[in-house]
Structures are given as structure tokens and as C-alpha cells.
Structure 1
């Protein structure tokens, strides 16, 4: 089946890209807010009776459980997107993720309700994971297919990178919100109630996201294609290799990002005795840098191909892993901010072309299911365990060199996966 470009769909392409960008930014704000709070707040608020290092590990475990729910969300909402349409699924995922975030801000601390506090925290984190599990695949699929139908095939990388920009934007607002609260309030007040304000603010963001998303149209490729009766089962039968390659491509991106954006915050405070704001500023600078590296790398992938750009990003991440941690260990504010910021910016080189690279691997009948499932399964082996593994390596070996090696090994996996993947930047995706 071939879908010819329809000039009438071109304004809708811009609308879909904007809605995907805004909605994804809001959902990642919700998701990353938990990660930053897990490093800075939750050990004290929800695990006060544990030893400091144990409290950090427990906090990172609550952070990681969302990644266990994300594949389930990917399966559920990916299948729904392939069966009944992409648009409505994105409205549902926004409500689920934002609702979980708001409720986290309402959970009393351990001193008020005891063990029920961390139990409720875990439950709401699972809710967040379920929603975010269906978000990325749906947004990427909708934007990619609108770009194809609107005659913007040669710009698929750049257009879908708007979804990837939602990640640093979301993290920027999440970290920025916590940084403002932590620097303007005394520590006692910040731990008592100040950290809750950014979580409760999610209610306002949900309203904004819904207002934008309900105005977009359904994917033209989806409406003109024959829907699969069992899209997830068909995807596993016909596209299992693409799923495996998606997992291999993404793990390094996840590990490198969360090691710098989450684990580093904890290491600075507990290992080096630095103010938590130093790490937060590093993440903020890195997120701003990604606003350049993500669309730039996506644009280059439209011209030179997804594979070479992705490999360059993986190599950059691997090299910087051995440069960054000695800089961080100097405990110098300037070097610390630089090390974290460059690490996050380098990850953006991989992240920019990733949306188009993954979506282009799958056919329209199973694209939502395949992109969602592969992306979220990788999260279990990447972002879910990255802060925990990094902390465990540090505790076991007493050196950040082990953390550097951990990042490098995942970068090697990304290079191998990219070499095995088919180049897709000039391929039609309407089959």
C-alpha cells in the first residue's frame, strides 16, 4: 500500500509535532521529577530509619519500579494504538502519568504513616510507569506517520526529534522546580513540604496537555491501513529482530543518561559532601545543551543516515565516561557541572535520531506496538537499574572507574546493534 503526500495534511503535521512535544514534555516532567526527588528527598522522607547508603539504595529501587511497569504500558497502549488508533491513547497516557505524579505529592512521609508511605510511593510510581510506557511509542508513531503522509519524508528525523526534545525539557523543568524550592527554602521546610509543590503542579500541566492533544487528527496511514486483529502477537512473530535491535540501541542511551542525571546527584551529596544544587545545575546545563544536540543529530541523520550518527553518539558517550568521573571526583563545582552537562549532551547525539530510527523499523500495522515494546523493554535493562547498579559498583569496588566501564560496555552494545540494523532514513514507511 502506498500513501501519497496530501498537501492538506501539512498543517496537521506541525500540529501533531507540537502536541507530541508538549505532551511528552509534560509526561517526562512527571517522570523525571521522581528521579531527582529519589536522589535528594526520598531517602530522608520515606526511609529515615535506614542507614544513609541503604536509604539511597531503597530510594533508587522505588525509582526503578516504574521501569517494570513501562513494558506493560507499552504492550497495553501499543496494542490499543494499533487496534483503535494512536490519538486517543495519548490522551489516556497523559491522564495516567499526571495523575500518579499529583498523588505522589499528597503521600504523607514515613513519620506520619510508617511503612505505608513507601508502599504508596511504589504504587504511584507504578502508575507513572504504566502511563509513560505508552507515551513514547504512541507519540513517535503518530508524528512519523503524519510526516510521511504530509510529504515530509526527508525530514522524519528532525520532526520526530521534537518528541525527544520533550525529555530534556521535561527534565529541565523538573530539576529546575526542585532546585528553586531547595534553594529558596530552608532545608527543614524543603523536606517537610517544599518538595511536594512541583508534584502538585502536575495538575495544571495535565490540563494544558489535554487542551493541545484533543485538537490533533488521527494518523492518515493508520486510517488507510488494514488493522491487525492481534497486533502485539503479529509484531512478535514478524518483527522480533527489530525489537531486539531496538533494545540494543537504547540501553546505552538510558544507562548513560540516568548515571549522570540521577546517580551523580546522589554521589555528589553522599560521596563528596557537595551541595545537591551543584548536581542539579549540571543536569540543567546538560538539558539545555541537549536542546541543540538532539535536533542537530536528528538533522544530520536525515542527511547522512541514522546508523553513522547513532554510532558517533555511542562512541562519544563511551569516551566521556572515562573523562567525566575523574572530573567529578575533583569535587570542584565547575568541573562537576561540566562533567555532568557534557555527559548528558553526548547522550543527546544518540537520542536525536532514535525516534525515527526505531519507528522506521516497523510496518504500520504493528508500529505502535513494536516501537513501544522495544523502547520500554530496553528501559528495564537500562534506566531502571542504572542508578542502582552504579551505586552497587561504587560500594563494591570503591571507585567510579567501575561506573565508567559499565557505561562503556553498554555503548559497545549500541554500536553493534546499529551496525546490525538496516539503514532506514530514505525508506518509505507506509508498507
Structure 2
């Protein structure tokens, strides 16, 4: 079995023609929309469903049990995503990126719609909660597969010199989705009062965004059926494999990726950057800005919306810079900046109670841009690290499996808190994530000039 790491090309890069340019635009639009829909659906429970979870639970639930119930809604999705990346990544390598994307996107569209129809505790008892958990787990599997085919397909159509720009544009759908789902949630809270399990929002107001998420998924699936062509590079690799002229030929792409040193290197790098990312998206809003700084709900929402608007532009800018100076160099510099500048900005925020609100917004924006900068570059980098016959599996596993360990960041903070002040533990963990990301990138090659084989 040959290594799935990218090697010298066996054929010349595809000739750019008007027809191929049109296919590239369709694939890029599809990948951007796929990332947007994926992130929109991921944030639905966090932003929209949490206030309505009492609708699925018995009355007078003790706080500890309620916290476990709440966390399970998110943990099941988290567990499902790596499974989906493995299943649909292998499927995309075997039957094609386009077909795999259509299947997974249709799947999470159907499941998201079913979630919108789940009855409450007063109707079917505690079964309503467990039905919600099972559906979110299945949704996580399909969500993990949605981008596994769509994003590598777009990269395989991109010209080599534009992968950085297009990768940044596609991944900028993540902060854009966060902005949209929060605006949708704010509209829902304003239109449907929330006051107990029998209030309009708890009974049916939360269902509207889930129906919207399902409709978006169905539109995306139709778009891929009607407008997106299969990857020409994948089709050429399949043809070469059937003719016996391919240098790849991994019969089991999933195992081929997991056994390779390439995956280990990508896994280490992405584990570091997922750890720092979680401190931005999960730890910063609640623990730092709400509990330590003392922002009101309105101030917190406004601060995060402004920060995520900045991230839409910074993701694209990072992709362009990474294309110019090299992905590896960008990751190393970015990781070191996280461990220094990012740590300094976080130190300001954890001791930021009493600071002017405008200054807090400025520091949060700067911190978010510095710490999330690597994400504008990860899409082209990971796809460039793997051969065509295992690229979807490599991208899916490298991108998703690495999120599992960082998801336990709260336990790491608790452990560090036994040896140092909690505020210091946060800074240590952030610095460790940045250094791990930089070290993981330094262990791999530069990829920006590689041709897909």
C-alpha cells in the first residue's frame, strides 16, 4: 500500500477552458453553501434550541441532571461528525465527491426536518428527549459527511494559484453562518415569547429555524444535482485505476489514511488549532465575556456579531496571505502569534471587568482574528496533503477527528486549575494549542505548489 501523502504528479494539471472555469465556479459556490448550511445546522442547538430544552424535559428537574441533558444534545452531534466524516469520506473516494455530497446533504435535511417535528414531554414523556438526542446524533453523522465531499471537490477544480483565495472564501461561510443564525434567533425571541415550557417559543417558535435549516439543505442537494459536475481529477484517477496505470490504488481509503504519517501530522496540527478555536467560539462568550467581564446579553450578542463580521474578511485575507507566503509558513507564524499576541489579548479580557465597552469589542475582534487566522488556510492545505484516491477521507478525518480531544478543553482547564489560578490556566492552554498547531505544521511539507495527482 502506498502512502496517501501527496507525491509528484503523474499527469500534467488540467488545461483551463471556459467549460472547466464554469464547473469550478459551480463547485466553489456549492462548497461555500455546503459549509454555510453545515455551520448553520451545527449552531441551531446552541443558539436556538437551548432556551427551549425545558419543552423536552420533566418539570422540577434538578440542575445537575438538566446540565447533563443539555450537554448531551451537543455531545451526540460532536460524536456523530467524525463518524460521518469517516463514512462519507470513504464513500466520496469510492463513488465520487458529488454523489456523496448529495446523499449526506439530503440526509441531514430530512433529519433536521424530523427534529422540527419532535413532540414535547407532555405528549410522549421522556421519549421526546431521547428522540431528540438520537436525531441529533444521526444529524451529526450526515453533517460530518456534507463538507467531506463538497470541499475537496471545489479544491480539485481550483487552479493551483487560486486555492488559497477560494479556500478562504469557502471557510468564511463559517462565521457568516454564525451571524445569520444569531439574527434568526434574535428575530425568533422577539416574535415568540419565551416563558416556560408552554410558551409560544418553547412549543413551536424554535421549530421555525430548524425548518429553515432543512429547506436550505434541500436547496443545496438540488443545486448539486442540477449544477455541480463530478471532479474531473477524481474521474481521471478512477479511470487510471481501472486501467492499472495508477500509482495509488488504496483499496481501503479509510485505513490507508489512518495508517499514514501524513494523517498523524495533520491530526496534531489540527488538534492544536481546534483547541484554540474552541477557546474563541465556546469559552470566550460565556465564561470570559459574560461571567468574568460581566457583559449583558445584548452587549454580548453585539460584540460577537461584530467579531464574526471581522472574521468573514480575515478568513479570506488569511487564505490570500497563505497562498503568497506558503501554507506551512503561515501556520507556523500563526501558531506563534496565537501563543504570544493571542495570549496577551486573552489576558486583557480575563481581567477586563470595568473596561469600556468599546475597548472590549476592539480587543475581542483582534483576539478572534489572531486566534482563528489558520482556518482561512486549512482547506487547501489538508486537501493538498493527500492523493486523489484518499483525499476525501484524508480531509474528512484530518478536519473532524481532530476536534474530539480539544472538545474536552473544560476538563483540561479544571486539571490545570489545580496547579495555578484559573485565569493563568486559560492562557497556558491557549499557548499550548498555538504551539501544537505550529509544531504540527512545521513537521509537514510546504504544499502550495503541489499538483493534484
Sort the TM-score into its range (normalised by shorter chain).
Answer: 0.7 to 0.9
In 1, the alpha carbon distance for the partners of 2:409 and 2:58 equals 20
Confirm or deny: 8 A CA contact 1:72 1:133 kept in the other structure. yes
User: 2:7 — aligned with what?
Assistant: none
SS at match of 2:172: helix
Quote how far apart the aligned CAs of 1:338 are.
4.2
User: 1:260 — aligned with what?
Assistant: 280
Query: Can you list the C-alpha shifts for 1:268-325, whole angstroms capped at 9, x where unaligned?
Result: 5567765434333333222211111111111111111001222333234333245336
- Alignment match of 1:324 (pick from 346, 357, 363): 346
TM-score by length of 2: 0.83
- Alignment match of 2:232 (pick from 209, 214, 220): 220
- Pair 1:406 & 2:403 matched: no
In 1, the alpha carbon distance for the partners of 2:360 and 2:55 equals 24
The alpha-carbon distance between structure 1 residues 168 and 398, as it changes in their structure 2 partners (threshold 3 A), is same
- Pair 1:232 & 2:244 matched: no
The alpha-carbon distance between structure 1 residues 93 and 43, as it changes in their structure 2 partners (threshold 3 A), is same
Of 288-297 and 270-279, deviating more is 270-279
The alpha-carbon distance between structure 1 residues 54 and 307, as it changes in their structure 2 partners (threshold 3 A), is farther
Matches within 5 A, 1:305-344: 305-318=326-339, 319-324=341-346, 326-327=348-349, 329-330=352-353, 333-334=357-358, 336-344=360-368
Query: Can you list the C-alpha shifts for 1:61-87, whole angstroms capped at 9, x where unaligned?
Result: 431222222221111111111111100
The alpha-carbon distance between structure 1 residues 345 and 206, as it changes in their structure 2 partners (threshold 3 A), is same
Confirm or deny: 8 A CA contact 1:94 1:209 kept in the other structure. yes
Confirm or deny: 8 A CA contact 1:263 1:391 kept in the other structure. no
Aligned-residue Cα RMSD (Å) equals 3.0
SS at match of 2:306: helix
Confirm or deny: 8 A CA contact 1:38 1:59 kept in the other structure. no
- Pair 1:161 & 2:185 matched: no
In 2, the alpha carbon distance for the partners of 1:310 and 1:217 equals 32
- Give unpaired runs (5+ residues) of structure 1: none
Matches within 5 A, 1:150-189: 152-188=159-195, 189=199
How many pairs does the alignment contain? 423
TM-score by length of 1: 0.87
- Give unpaired runs (5+ residues) of structure 2: 1-9, 242-248
User: 1:102 — aligned with what?
Assistant: 113
User: 1:209 — aligned with what?
Assistant: 220
The alpha-carbon distance between structure 1 residues 376 and 363, as it changes in their structure 2 partners (threshold 3 A), is same
Of 3-12 and 294-303, deviating more is 3-12
Confirm or deny: 8 A CA contact 2:56 2:126 kept in the other structure. no
Confirm or deny: 8 A CA contact 1:27 1:98 kept in the other structure. no
Confirm or deny: 8 A CA contact 2:32 2:169 kept in the other structure. yes
In 2, the alpha carbon distance for the partners of 1:75 and 1:356 equals 19
- Pair 1:288 & 2:299 matched: no
- Alignment match of 1:376 (pick from 376, 396, 400): 400
SS at match of 1:161: helix
User: 2:451 — aligned with what?
Assistant: 428
- Pair 1:299 & 2:317 matched: no
In 2, the alpha carbon distance for the partners of 1:77 and 1:424 equals 25
Quote how far apart the aligned CAs of 1:416 are.
0.6
The alpha-carbon distance between structure 1 residues 179 and 78, as it changes in their structure 2 partners (threshold 3 A), is same
Quote how far apart the aligned CAs of 1:154 are.
1.2
Confirm or deny: 8 A CA contact 1:158 1:298 kept in the other structure. yes
- Alignment match of 2:389 (pick from 350, 359, 365): 365
Confirm or deny: 8 A CA contact 2:86 2:397 kept in the other structure. yes
